[in-house]
Structure 1
């Protein structure tokens, strides 16, 4: 199923979904996996703990954020696909970011974990049929979304942060 098959675009997440191509979800997730495997590790390593403004995350923090987001949403996606109608709890990404050891890890280690998590997400989606992909679930604040939309959100969320890295972090390298 393609991005254009999403029946109801979830507000807020549309900013990420819009960054994914209108291709089958499996292909979109494979493209995002390839983007991770082709990541410019040397640039990321060179950035070290540099941030473009006070209070912003380091590259390692951003990678940890990807990992955490993918795991949180993998739970939500699975719960919704299985028919769970409970309201999902909000995800406090700032609290997660304050409580990691990301900056004591290497970029390579974080990227390896992220690739493994993405591969797990791809495997999870292979287990869903069309009905599961369109199953509606209850997010926080009355938001409704389905596993199909959230899959494209994950691919686009990665691109969102890659764009931020390119636009705001790479200039710190003076290259």
Structure 2
């Protein structure tokens, strides 16, 4: 499993391609572990005040980005579970804007949001580490598109890679 191949473009909706393409071939599970460690290290010196920083009007705060990352990984991991187990129920989409608006992330302590992201990742890794080989290629209906379990795992990794870059370039560079 450590050399899991990237999914084919036919295994996911086209809008997921940007995330899948960010992930290097190979060591997916190891990358997910490394990402969690890198995120914690990247954020360890961020202050509570910096967590409320928005790089432009109408943009999410850093806290909201972290909350969005945890929420999205939860949703994608749930979808992955359903698909990997062979469930053929159509899984609906979700509104990231509605999730962030309904969460009050700015009122939560930054350290809680950082820990929540780490806990969600540990849960995802637990799911992936227990999956039988054949489950990775199973497909289900995710928001109207046939999607494989491995594609969802790659989306999780790519989504974090995307947001790590945004955090470095738009948030941390401005507050340090």
TM-score by length of 2: 0.89
Size of the aligned set, in residue pairs, is: 173
Structure 1: tracts of 5 or more residues without a match: none
| 2:163 pairs with 1:164 | no
| Residue in structure 1 matching 2:17, options 1, 8, 14 | 14
| Correspondent of 1:129 among 129, 132, 157 | 132
Aligned equivalents of 1:97 and 1:6: distance in 2? 29
Deviation at 1:42, TM superposition (A): 2.0
1:168 to partner: Cα distance: 1.8
2:59 alignment partner, SS class:
coil
Structure 2 segments unaligned to the other structure (5+ residues): none
Give CA-to-partner distance per residue, 1:103-138, whole Å, 9 cap, x none: 111211111111011001000011111211100111
TM, length-normalised to structure 1: 0.89
Distance 2:140 2:97 in 1: 24
Q: Distance in 2 between matches of 1:76 and 1:89?
A: 9
Q: 1:44 to 1:16 in 2, by over 3 A?
A: farther
RMSD over aligned CA atoms reads 1.8
Map 1:23-38 onto structure 2 (within 5 A): 23-38=26-41
Contact 1:3 1:149 (C-alpha < 8 Å) held by counterparts: no
Residues 83 and 148, structure 2, Cα contact 8 Å, conserved in 1? yes
